[in-house]
A and B are shown apart, each in its own frame.
Chain A
Amino acid sequence: MAKRLCIVDDSESFRTYLGSLLHAAGHDTIRRFASAEDCLDALTAPGAEPADLILMDLIMPGIGGLGGLRALKANPSLADIPVIVITVSDDNESLAAAFAAGALDYIQKPPRRPELIARVEAALRLKAATDERKARERDLQNEKEFIAAILEYSHDGIAVVARDGRFLFVSPGMERIFALPADTYTTLDRWLDQAFPEPAARLDLTDVLALPPAPGHVWRRLHTFADRNGQPRTCQIYFSAMPSGDLILNIQDVTLFEKQKEDLLRKHDRHRKDLEAAAEIQQSLLPRRFSMSESLKFAWEFTPCETIGGDIFNVFPLGPNHIGLYMLDVSGHGVASSLVALSVYNFMHYQRSTLVDRSGGHIDVVPPHLVLTRLDEEFPYSKFSKFFTIFYMALDLRTGQACYGNAGHPAPLHIAADGTITPLPLRGTIIGLEGFQPFPSGTVTFAPGDKLVTVSDGLPDRLDDAGTFFGETRVLDVLRANHTLPIGELLASLRQAAEDFCAGTPPRDDVSILGLEFVHPKPL
């Protein structure tokens, strides 16, 4: 950048001559003034171009060179501009006064060109060095103020402790967190006494401080401290060390956060207990008796998922000669699903007119596909935002003939006494679509020794820890291998096979298994 020079001399011819010498030396930015006052006015005018060097004649009208020099040095914005004074002779007294007023150098009239240029260049180099140093100082000052502002406004408390336990630095955040007087932070012991009066908390901290982390490592711990009213609060302290061994403590007040965490855990615990209570209610609805007739045995296995699911099943008498059996699985799990399951249970339990027709003076079993149609009307998806699958069967104990309806449920398996397994083939859509399709009606006949096993999709969908499904094929394999077992043992073997396969991985959905064994026809 071109250097900006000022020549101040009351002789126009000298200003021109000096200007020509400087111009010849490569300086193009030269302002010329006839008096010190003009120069001062120009440099202090608003938006004035600054100067890098002033060549000032000492003897001029007005305040003269000496007065001008003093005025320059008295103005902080101009004081750094080096001034070379110009004298007519070797006037020691004037020179001494000029140097005392802040002149950097002098030259005599008439100037000798090499001397003039050498002195001007030296003065400009000095000005450049001064400017650079001042800029560096300004940067350092800005940086210092920036760091101080960070420490001032940071919510964290930051402290540095020497190896002998003296505090080397304490940020204002420490005062905000602990509200202790400044003289607390003399030694670590004094601070611990004041802020951590509880012996266990103090001991915990003392242990860390006795063996601080190596440089580059950070330890983090929660500590209980006492606020100014002696009330317990919680802070999180990050311990780290500088290469010198000085310990840095970075401290956050996490009292509110810890309280929120506690509240959340309490709510979660309450929610879990609610779910457990709901699960107990759900399980209390499962059938208790395992034989309601000598003609029939039944059994079940139920493995609930962690959050309550929507499976329910039941076996119950339908008049003197029939039994009804259903298994339903409401979509999703959780309280909403279990409530819908409970509603369906109540509907099937108390609305028996849905299941048996007494209008003809005798008891007629309502065909299962009509029962499903009725359920579809009662439980529309649009009302509950839940759908369910259900298998419902009515079995005539006198003949072993059964009719069934299936709304989207996994096909129940008919196991003949010789081990032949046949899925019951007819199946309609889920309950909740408000008459989307009619439900087909199926029949099956049980010979003595035949069994029926129905499961919820939670069984084939069980996963092992590698993410492999238990699957329908394994269900069939287990039933085929164990078909001669009594129904209770057969179902237990199926549940156990799934448990062994999953090796401790909990089910993601309820797992329900319901089975019946037709022993012999009920005597007429």
Chain B
Amino acid sequence: MNRVVPSETDQALVLGLSGEVIMDVVPDLKVEIERLADGSAKTAVVVDLGAVTFMDSSGVGLLLGLRRFCQQRDKVFELANPAPPIKKLLDMLRLTEYFTPGGRVG
């Protein structure tokens, strides 16, 4: 499976993803990320997409689910460093604002 690389800043748990975030790996990633987020006392979760090369709709679904997961635990959810193709995908889906902290809760 794709590894989730965790690190921390003062306020946030930062989870680095890499490679292709597609349907084949999403179930394992979801379990791992939720486990790490639940085990962290930080009030924010940042998913770092800097090393992600491709994301399909299952990967986008993972991000939507994680945002909801964090909301239910009163944590801020944020995306960081999307590479150009991922940024283009999020823009096409008009999700950039949705994943910006302070964006209206859906």
A428 contacts B56, C-beta separation under 8 Å = no
Is A387 a contact of B60 with CB atoms below 8 Å?
yes
Q: Is A332 an interface residue (CB 8 A)?
A: yes
B94 and A427 contact, CB distance less than 8 A? yes
B4 to chain A, nearest CB (A): 20
A430 to B103, CA, bound (A): 15
Separation of A92 and B97 alpha carbons in the complex (Å): 114
Q: Which parts of B75-105 form the interface with A (CB within 8 Å)?
A: 92-95, 97-98, 103-104
A508 contacts B22, C-beta separation under 8 Å: yes
- Chain A at the B interface: SS class: loop
Task: Tally inter-chain residue pairs, CB-CB below 8 A.
Answer: 64
Determine the distance from Cα of A429 to Cα of B99 in the docked complex, in whole angstroms.
12
For B93, what are the chain A residues with a Cβ–Cβ distance below 8 Å? 389, 408, 429-430
| Residues 38-80 of B at the A interface (beta carbon under 8 Å) | 56-58, 60-61, 64-65, 68
Residue total for A at the interface (Cβ-Cβ under 8 A): 28
Docked-complex contact B106 and A329, CB < 8 angstroms: no
Q: Is A437 an interface residue (CB 8 A)?
A: yes
Query: A456 — nearest CB in chain B belongs to which residue?
Result: B57
**What interface size band does chain B fall in?**
20 to 34
Task: Tell me whether A436 and B56 are in contact in the complex, defined as CB-CB below 8 angstroms, given that A381-B64, A387-B64, A428-B94 are known contacts.
Answer: no
A217 → chain B closest CB, angstroms: 35
Contact A429 B94 (CB under 8 A): yes
B30: shortest Cβ distance to chain A, in Å? 10
Residue numbers in A under 8 Å from B60 (CB-CB): 331, 387, 430
B56 near A508 with CB under 8 A, answer yes
Interface positions of A (Cβ within 8 A of B): 329-334, 381-382, 385-387, 389, 408, 410, 427-430, 432-437, 457, 461, 508-509
Given A330-B57, A331-B57, A386-B61: 10 more A-B contacts, CB < 8 Å: A329-B57, A331-B58, A332-B23, A332-B26, A333-B58, A334-B23, A389-B57, A410-B92, A427-B94, A509-B57
**Which residues on B are within 8 Å of A, measured CB to CB?**
22-23, 26, 56-58, 60-61, 64-65, 68, 92-95, 97-98, 103-104, 106
